[in-house]
Amino acid sequence: MSTATLSELVPAGNEAGLERVISLVLDGVTSAHTKTAYRRALRDFVGWYRATGQQALDKATVQRYASELAKAGASAASINQRLSAIRKLSAEAADNGLLPEAVASAISRVKGRRQEGRRSGNWLDKEQAQALLDAPDTRTLKGLRDRAILAVLLGCGLRRAEAARLTFDHIGQRDGRWVLVDLVGKGNKVRTVPMPSWAKAAIDAWAKAAGIAEGHVFRSVNRHGQITGQSMTDQAIADVVRAYRDRIGQPDLDAHDLRRTFAKLAHKGGAALEQIQLSLGHGSLVTTERYLGVEQDLTQAPCDMLGLRLAGK
């Protein structure tokens, strides 16, 4: 095509065409969260492009879009994520002969918004974390499941997607302790995560009540207290956290904040920083582990430093 016009790529009303263009971007992304965010970002951008009568897909148009997002009160992080999706769109369109290379190159140079300060996120102190762990009603099947979910998020520092994919085959023993073996995390990195005895007890209580011993550990439970599926989505895991956050006075708490809480409590309890990072599976530690020859300490693991327990135990 000789002109860089988004309307030629995705004519108004052509949903199939829009999906094909979005697929060019999503097929090159591995993270499910990023796929969801990029899909929303691209649909919003196309909607703005059509509604405002833009004539060309070029650097100036993308800069104008970013400026309008800022005026509307969008955060720097939100704007930068949207710009990432648009840059990816232009690059994929150019690679597929749908956009001139020069135009895609210019769009790639659109600067993101500067974020003032550093976002620290939320985390719980020991008393708040204990209150959250004690919040589910363990007289019910759902309550037992929810406590087990909160236990692995707080006790092992898992991402919500990792909790959703957790299977009974992951649970094993190494060096005389319970661990989650060969857990596949972000970027398909594999790690073994030490698990505190109270998290294992929470899983055992749920599994016994549910009558399950293989497949995914966590399953959907309906309002009648019946298991209705063979697994849970990562969004369902996040919803479990949201269901209890108000009970402990933390309305902004999200699932990832429990991962951050794990790290904070373990560090405060005296766990070595490099051991915490190994448990979390941070990508930067792959190089650090290779360089320093660091090995996971399964005798005195980060999860042993949290100071949490199950009620009555």
Q: What is the pLDDT of residue 116?
A: 55
Q: Decide if pLDDT at 8 tops 70.
A: no
Average pLDDT, integer, range 152-177:
95
Instruction: Classify residue 73 as left (phi > 0), alpha (psi -120 to 50) or beta.
Output: left
Comparing CA positions, the residue from 50, 13, 11, 43 lying closest to residue 25 is 43
Contact 192, 174 (CB under 8 A): yes
Average pLDDT, integer, range 145-156:
97
Q: Which two tokens stand for residue 102?
A: 């020069």
pTM of the complete model: 0.61
The whole-angstrom separation of Cα 33 and Cα 258 is: 18
Torsion of CA 17, 20, 22, 28, to 10 degrees: -160
The whole-angstrom separation of Cα 124 and Cα 104 is: 44
Cα Rg of the chain, angstroms:
23
Which stretches of the chain are assigned E, i.e. beta strand? Answer: 171-174, 177-184, 190-194
For residue 118, what are the CA distances in angstroms to 77, 114, 115?
11, 11, 7
Average pLDDT, integer, range 17-27:
79
The whole-angstrom separation of Cα 152 and Cα 57 is: 46
Among 15-24, 99-108, 236-245, name the most confident range: 236-245
Q: Decide if pLDDT at 192 tops 90.
A: yes
Q: What is the pLDDT of residue 7?
A: 61
For residue 257, the Cα-to-chain-centroid distance in whole angstroms is 11
Of the two residues 35 and 170, the one the predictor is more confident about is: 170
171-174 and 190-194 as β-strands: parallel, antiparallel, unpaired?
unpaired
Q: Decide if pLDDT at 15 tops 60.
A: yes
Q: What is the pLDDT of residue 2?
A: 45
Q: What is the pLDDT of residue 172?
A: 95
Average pLDDT, integer, range 216-238:
93
Q: Decide if pLDDT at 1 tops 70.
A: no
For residue 22, what are the CA distances in angstroms to 69, 96, 224?
21, 13, 39
Task: Kindly report which listed range (48-57, 104-113, 150-159, 277-286) carries the lowest average pLDDT score.
Answer: 277-286
Q: What is the pLDDT of residue 91?
A: 86
Average pLDDT, integer, range 55-60:
87
**237-239-243 Cα angle (round to 5):** 125
**Confidence class of residue 198 from pLDDT cuts 50, 70 and 90?**
very high
Q: What is the pLDDT of residue 142?
A: 96
Q: What is the pLDDT of residue 140?
A: 95
Q: What is the pLDDT of residue 268?
A: 81
Q: Is 182 helix (H, G, I), strand (E, B) or coil?
A: strand
Question: What is the end-to-end Cα distance of the chain in Å, rounded?
Answer: 69
Percent of the chain with pLDDT over 90: 40
Task: Kindly report which listed range (85-99, 109-123, 267-281) carries the lowest average pLDDT score.
Answer: 109-123
Domains of the chain: 6-108 (1.10.150.130), 126-305 (1.10.443.10)
